[in-house]
């Protein structure tokens, strides 16, 4: 067939042959002529089983690094081509008429291999000397039509997401030979023709319209990407406004606050809300008053044998646990504010009687709060062996073990019982706090507070 290819110099070799994914008799072929000192691009297409060929390099830049090593057709979109040269990756949305360089964080490197993972729509590259690269989710490239480019903004369709359970890594993870996994959850791609007057709003809703998560967007021109971790809004750890007693060396920041340290660092993941069950969810993108919506399909992890009933039990329990955790954080921060104000007021008070009343109130609040978390902690790693844990740490421990490390399983009887007992302590603390605020001593001394 070589004789049927017009304008093909002598002395070259075939670098890639790509049969069409859509039409019999259609094929793409690339040539390289490095051995004879020719670094130009040569890509040809036939639609009649090789009887005739057309050169399709279009506007590919021609220089000393223009040799084409790979040519691939997207298996999901006719006429969408990818080619790898001696220093770059290019794509053509129109069967080779025009080409655009695909950069992102891909260095200038020879692209010797191109593959497209059909199920997830990921672009996989093999480079010369720089390892492998994967571009997750080709949806924006596939759907970046002339109509989309003319629009002020656009929310691309969403590929299905999976509730994958994390697999515990080995001690080799994280070394210099380990790759980088994609962001967990659902990838959400949107386009902005220009910067907006007001940053766009991106929400994840249930099919009934309940808001599950508000995601951050980037107010920049171009195609942008964010992700949803498949969980409702997480809780957060409280900020303290007082120092541990008899430990004045512990510092507060410029806002008069300090961070807490869970007695076991492994409990930190317990602030997360549970993974939502498989099903359909609404993703709403609001830019300059124009709302666009796409439906996200969430699927179960095919490698896990959990059933929908168990997952729903885990989710319902996890939501309640998350609400209780947030209520605990709020109560701690409310008490901390009152204690800090009382400490300041007592330090300035001249009257011994009033000063005693203020300190009595602060002591009552301290005793309530000390049941919610370890108030003696300083940040030292060994603090966890010195003092008992409180309501906050109990909730964090349940959340970590159930919502992060247990797969698609319902809560155990022990977890349910510990949650009920701990929630009872939270409710008792809430009632005691209100009792202090309603006490005669509080009403008597409250006017002295700053």
| Average pLDDT of span 296-314 | 92
Residue pair 140/191 in contact (Cβ under 8 Å)? The answer is yes
CA distance linking residue 161 with residue 294, whole number of Å: 13
What would the DSSP string read from start to end of 22-72? Answer: S-TT-EEEEEEEGGGTEEEEEEEEESSTTSS-EE--TT---STT--EEEEE
* pLDDT tops 50 at residue 100: yes
Give this prediction's pTM. 0.88
Number of residues assigned to the chain: 450
Name the band, by pLDDT with cuts 50, 70 and 90, for residue 443. Answer: confident
> Cβ neighbours of residue 118 under 8 Å, at least 6 residues apart?
75, 76
Residue pair 300/163 in contact (Cβ under 8 Å)? The answer is yes
Buried/exposed 374-403: b ≥16 CB within 10 Å, e otherwise: bbebeeeeeebeeeebbbbbbbbbbbbbbb
Residue pair 24/58 in contact (Cβ under 8 Å)? The answer is no
Residue pair 398/268 in contact (Cβ under 8 Å)? The answer is no
| Neighbouring-strand partners of residue 42 | 31
Report pLDDT for 448: 52
Buried/exposed 344-371: b ≥16 CB within 10 Å, e otherwise: ebbeebeeeebbebbbebbebbeebbbb
Whose structure tokens read 């655009």? 100
114-139 pLDDT, tens digit each: 999 999 999 999 999 888 999 999 99
314-351 pLDDT, tens digit each: 999 999 999 999 999 999 999 999 999 999 999 888 88
Report residue 63 as tokens: 């220089």
Report pLDDT for 450: 47
| Average pLDDT of span 284-289 | 94
Name the band, by pLDDT with cuts 50, 70 and 90, for residue 180. Answer: confident
Report pLDDT for 406: 66
* pLDDT tops 60 at residue 264: no
Residue pair 331/426 in contact (Cβ under 8 Å)? The answer is yes
CA distance linking residue 409 with residue 320, whole number of Å: 16
Report pLDDT for 168: 64
218-261 pLDDT, tens digit each: 999 999 999 999 999 999 999 999 999 988 898 999 999 998 87
Report pLDDT for 243: 93
In percent, the amount of the chain with pLDDT more than 70 equals 94
Report pLDDT for 197: 86
Residue pair 238/260 in contact (Cβ under 8 Å)? The answer is yes
399-431 pLDDT, tens digit each: 888 776 668 889 999 999 999 999 999 999 999
Report pLDDT for 266: 62
CA distance linking residue 247 with residue 421, whole number of Å: 32
| Average pLDDT of span 68-85 | 97
| Average pLDDT of span 77-99 | 96
Is 2 or 285 the better-scoring residue by pLDDT? 285
Domain 1-136 fold: Methylamine Dehydrogenase; Chain H (2.130.10)
| Average pLDDT of span 292-298 | 98
Whose structure tokens read 């729509």? 121
In percent, the amount of the chain with pLDDT more than 90 equals 76
| Average pLDDT of span 5-15 | 93
Q: What is the mean pLDDT of the chain?
A: 91
Environment class of residue 176 by beta-carbon count within 10 Å: exposed (0-12), middle (13-18) or buried (19+)?
A: exposed
| Average pLDDT of span 259-286 | 84
* pLDDT tops 90 at residue 78: yes
Report pLDDT for 286: 96
Whose structure tokens read 């490390």? 405
CA distance linking residue 236 with residue 239, whole number of Å: 9
Instruction: Give me the residue spans of the domains in the chain.
Output: 1-136, 239-274+306-448
Report pLDDT for 175: 64
3-state DSSP assignment of residue 361: helix
CA distance linking residue 360 with residue 349, whole number of Å: 14
Q: Which residue pairs from 82-87 have beta carbons closer than 8 angstroms and sit at least 24 positions apart in sequence?
A: 82/114, 82/116, 82/123, 83/30, 83/41, 83/43, 83/114, 84/110, 84/111, 84/112, 84/113, 84/114, 84/125, 85/41, 85/60, 85/110, 85/111, 86/39, 86/110
Report pLDDT for 166: 77
Report pLDDT for 176: 66
């Amino acid at each position: 067939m070589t004789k049927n290819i017009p304008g093909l110099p002598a002395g070259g070799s075939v670098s890639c042959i790509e049969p069409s994914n859509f039409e019999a008799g259609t094929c793409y072929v690339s040539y390289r002529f490095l051995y004879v000192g020719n670094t130009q691009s040569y890509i040809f297409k036939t639609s009649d089983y090789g009887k005739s060929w057309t050169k399709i390099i279009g506007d590919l830049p021609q220089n000393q690094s223009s040799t084409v090593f790979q040519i691939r057709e997207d298996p999901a979109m006719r006429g969408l081509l990818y080619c790898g040269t001696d220093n770059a990756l290019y794509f053509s949305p129109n069967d080779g008429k025009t080409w655009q360089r695909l950069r992102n964080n891909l260095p200038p490197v020879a692209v010797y291999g191109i593959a497209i993972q059909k199920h997830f729509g990921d672009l996989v590259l093999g480079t010369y000397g720089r390892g492998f690269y994967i571009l997750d989710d080709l949806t924006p490239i596939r759907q970046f039509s002339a109509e989309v480019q003319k629009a002020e903004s656009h929310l691309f369709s969403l590929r299905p997401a999976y509730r994958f359970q994390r697999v515990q890594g080995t001690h080799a993870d994280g070394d210099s030979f380990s790759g980088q996994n994609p962001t967990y959850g659902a990838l959400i791609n949107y386009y902005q023709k220009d910067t907006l007057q007001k940053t766009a709003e991106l929400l994840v809703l249930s099919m009934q319209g309940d808001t599950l998560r508000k995601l951050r967007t980037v107010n920049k021109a171009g195609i942008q990407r964010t992700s949803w971790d498949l969980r409702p809004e997480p809780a957060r750890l409280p900020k303290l406004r007082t120092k541990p007693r008899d430990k004045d060396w512990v510092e507060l920041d410029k806002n008069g606050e300090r961070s807490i340290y869970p007695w076991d660092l492994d409990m930190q993941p317990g602030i997360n809300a549970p993974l939502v069950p498989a099903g359909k969810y609404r993703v709403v993108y609001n830019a300059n008053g124009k709302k666009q919506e796409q439906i996200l399909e969430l699927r179960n992890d095919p490698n896990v044998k959990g059933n929908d009933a168990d997952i729903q039990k885990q989710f319902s329990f996890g939501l309640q646990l998350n609400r209780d955790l947030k209520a605990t954080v709020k109560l701690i921060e409310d008490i901390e504010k009152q204690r800090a104000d009382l400490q300041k007021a007592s330090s300035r008070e001249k009257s011994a009687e009033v000063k005693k009343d203020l300190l009595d109130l602060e002591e009552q609040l301290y005793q309530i709060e000390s049941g919610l978390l370890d108030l003696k902690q300083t940040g030292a790693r060994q603090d966890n062996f010195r003092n008992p844990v409180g309501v906050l740490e109990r909730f964090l421990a349940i959340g970590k073990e159930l919502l992060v490390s247990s797969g698609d399983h319902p809560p155990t009887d022990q977890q349910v019982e510990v949650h009920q007992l701990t929630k009872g302590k939270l409710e008792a603390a809430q009632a005691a706090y209100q009792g202090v605020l309603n006490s005669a001593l509080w009403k008597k001394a409250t006017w002295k507070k700053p």
